[in-house]
Amino acid sequence: MNAVIAGGGGHARSVIAAVRAQAVLRLVAATDPRADLAGGTLDGVPLIGGDERLAGLLDDGVQAAVIGVGGTGDNAPRARVHQMLEQLGFELPSVVHPRACLADTALLGAGTVVLAGANVGPGVVIGANVIVNTSAVVEHDCVLEADVHVASGAILGGGVRVDRGAHVGLGAVVLQGRRIGAGALIGAGAVVIRDVPPGATVVGVPAAPRP
Ligand code: JB2
């Protein structure tokens, strides 16, 4: 199936690599609002202009879209892109790099990406538009709501719950059974030993509110 990727930055390159390795979707175009990118290519995918081009692609029979906008900390722009693609009527298949390890009892929502080296355990339930980034570990029975980003190398112990739009930073560790509130931000390398309230930012070892 032909697909478009929304976003033309660094995260899009990681997603393109996963899509190609999975060999299910064929990426025919990328969109990005940056005018300086239009007319170029991103790892061989033509950058055709901004999101105003998306409706025309649908008319041309491009049925699927993948979300290539990442972001470090703020998942709101990515959430808006997901909503826009859904409203336009694109199919939003999940993308799993073939060198990720995904338990057969794990569930993935629409538009979710699991990148190379990630490990998603049994009974995990992941909502729509989630990034499980390179080499992240999501242990058994975790629940990740929509628009969450588990950054590269982060580790969620068994039964962790991450609420909508929260960000778990590079290499952070969340002990088993803890809950990360909606929109919370866990700093890189933090070790979370207590539940984190919605919207809070915590950093350090053990993780504490940012001074
Ligand atoms: O609404 C949008 C939109 N908003 C921003 N639609 C489309 N189609 N694209 C959008 N973008 C584009 O996403 C920006 O114009 C920009 O070109 C791209 C974001 O690129 P950037 O390299 O700044 O960030 P990223 O999100 O690709 O990657 C960040 O997050 C990743 C998870 C980086 O920090 C990476 O290092 C990190 N791995």
Say which residues have a Cβ less than 8 Å from residue 144's Cβ, sequence separation at least 6.
124, 125, 126, 127, 130, 132, 138, 150, 161, 162
Q: Can you tell me the distance from the alpha carbon of 140 to that of 125, in angstroms, rounded to the nearest whole number?
A: 9
| Structural tokens at position 174 | 């969340």
Query: Would the CB of 40 count as within 6 Å of ligand 1?
Result: no
Which tens digits make up the pLDDT trace of 45-92?
Answer: 999 999 999 999 999 999 999 999 998 889 999 999 999 999 999 999
Alpha carbon nearest to ligand 1 atom 38, residue? 11
CA–centroid distance, 146 to ligand 1, in Å, is 18
Which pLDDT score, from 0 to 100, does residue 71 have?
Answer: 85
Q: Look at residue 72 in the predicted model and tell me its pLDDT.
A: 83
Catalytic residue list = 140
Residue 140 near residue 122 (C-beta atoms within 8 A): yes
Ligand 1 center from residue 153 Cα (angstroms) = 19
Of 48-52, 70-74, 107-111, 165-169, minimum mean pLDDT range: 70-74
Indicate whether residue 10 lines ligand 1 (CB < 6 A). Answer: yes
Ligand 1 atom having least distance to the Cα of 84:
1
Residue 159's identity, in one-letter code, is G
Decide if pLDDT at 163 tops 90: yes
**From the alpha carbon of 80, which atom of ligand 1 is closest?**
1
- What pTM was estimated for this model as a whole? 0.97
Q: Tell me the C-alpha distance between 115 and 97, whole Å.
A: 5
In this predicted structure, the answer to whether residue 210 has a pLDDT above a threshold of 90 is no
